[in-house]
């Protein structure tokens, strides 16, 4: 791996633990202003110091993020359809040029691949092209195994296929979903895997237990959005997730931390 690419990646996957807590706020790229992300700058301001990296699109970077912040950014560069596109949601192209990612001082770029949809070929070739450009610039690529609205697709057989394909085409790391037998997903993917959170879960403890199990089964961290910033106490929540990911806390121990920060705040 080239020095620049390794150096960028080490800003995201923290060298002391090898783990990461990425904060995803890229949802507007196809969902528009979803709840609690109507003003991304306000949502993210109290969380910036608690995130190892931010995942977001370039318009939000330029309009909502202070340029003197030093949280590394993973720039969402794929897109092209909205939630109104139904089954065509997977019809994505590359929507941001690599030189703009460099201009924004991104530490990685991210794109979605939609395996098993009618657009799988197109999105896999998007990945291949992005990796070629990433190699030219020393820019790591995060492959996102997107399922669109079909959340039921999230099983180990399907996600293993998607993650492995992202790695085979050269992604430096992969974002996927947690699932039963997650060890098979992480264990058959030769590059680091982070998990998304998905829609808000019933309880904070559910989220923290999921993070614990994911790490124990081979994830290097999370790239989480709604279960953090849609929580009533987002700073308490991201702190609790950090305790699991970086400090080896159990879900229950992290939940105690959540409760204590929540009561202090
Ligand atoms: C959308 C994404 C999101 O960043 C991802 O789903 C993470 O957010 P959440 O934890 O809210 O699911 O990649 O395609």
Distances (CA, A) of 45 to 21, 25, 40, 128: 16, 12, 8, 34
pLDDT in tens, 30-44: 999 999 999 999 999
pLDDT of 252 > 80? The answer is: yes
Is residue 236 scored above 80 in pLDDT?
A: yes
Please state the rounded mean pLDDT for residues 239-265.
Answer: 96
For a pLDDT cut of 90, what percent of the chain falls above it?
A: 95
Is 262 a residue whose pLDDT tops 80? Answer: yes
For the chain, which domains are there? 3-195 (3.20.20.70)
Of residues 122 and 86, more confidently modeled: 122
Mean pLDDT of the chain: 96
pLDDT, average across residues 159-188? 98
Residue 148's pLDDT band, with cuts at 50, 70 and 90, is confident
Q: Is 175 a catalytic residue?
A: yes
- 3-state secondary structure (DSSP) of residue 24: strand
- The pTM of this model reads 0.96
Task: Over range 140-152, report the average pLDDT.
Answer: 87
Residue nearest to atom 12 of ligand 1 (CA): 198
Instruction: Give, in order, the Cα–Cα distances in Å from 7 to each of 2, 77, 114, 139, 172.
Output: 9, 20, 29, 9, 12
Look at residue 1 and tell me whether its pLDDT is greater than 80: no
Pocket lining: 92 vs ligand 1, CB cutoff 6 Å: no
What is the position in ligand 1's atom list of the atom closest to the CA of 146? 14
How confident is the model over 93-145, as pLDDT tens digits?
A: 999 999 999 999 999 999 999 999 999 999 999 999 999 999 999 999 999 99
CA–centroid distance, 90 to ligand 1, in Å, is 15
Is a pLDDT exceeding 80 seen at residue 149?
Answer: no
**Where would I find the beta strands (DSSP E) of the chain?**
20-24, 53-57, 73-76, 78-79, 93-94, 108-113, 141-145, 173-176, 193-195, 221-224
User: Using CA positions, which residue lies closest to atom 4 of ligand 1?
Assistant: 24
The single residue of 36, 153, 175, 249 carrying the catalytic annotation is: 175
């Amino acid at each position: 791996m080239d020095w620049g690419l390794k150096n960028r990646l080490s800003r995201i996957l923290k060298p002391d633990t090898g783990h990461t807590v990425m904060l995803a706020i890229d949802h507007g790229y196809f969902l528009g202003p979803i709840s609690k992300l109507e003003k991304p700058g306000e949502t993210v301001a109290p969380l910036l110091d608690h995130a190892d990296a931010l995942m977001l699109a370039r318009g939000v970077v330029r309009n909502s993020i202070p340029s003197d912040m030093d949280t590394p950014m993973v720039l969402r560069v794929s897109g092209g359809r909205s939630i109104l596109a139904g089954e065509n949601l997977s019809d994505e192209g590359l929507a941001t040029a690599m030189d703009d990612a460099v201009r924004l001082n991104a530490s990685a770029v991210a794109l979605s691949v939609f395996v098993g949809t009618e657009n799988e070929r197109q999105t896999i070739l998007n990945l291949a092209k992005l990796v070629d450009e990433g190699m030219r610039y020393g820019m790591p690529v995060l492959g996102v195994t997107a399922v669109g609205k079909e959340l039921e697709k999230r099983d180990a057989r399907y996600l293993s296929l998607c993650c492995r394909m992202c790695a085979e085409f050269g992604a430096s790391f992969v974002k996927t979903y947690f699932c039963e037998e997650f060890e098979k997903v992480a264990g058959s993917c030769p590059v680091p895997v982070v998990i998304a959170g998905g829609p808000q879960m019933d309880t904070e403890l559910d989220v923290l237990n999921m993070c614990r199990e994911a790490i124990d089964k081979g994830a290097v961290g999370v790239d989480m959005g709604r279960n953090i910033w849609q929580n009533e106490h987002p700073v308490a929540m991201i702190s609790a997730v950090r305790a699991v990911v970086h400090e080896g806390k159990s879900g229950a121990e992290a939940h105690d931390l959540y409760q204590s920060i929540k009561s202090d705040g």
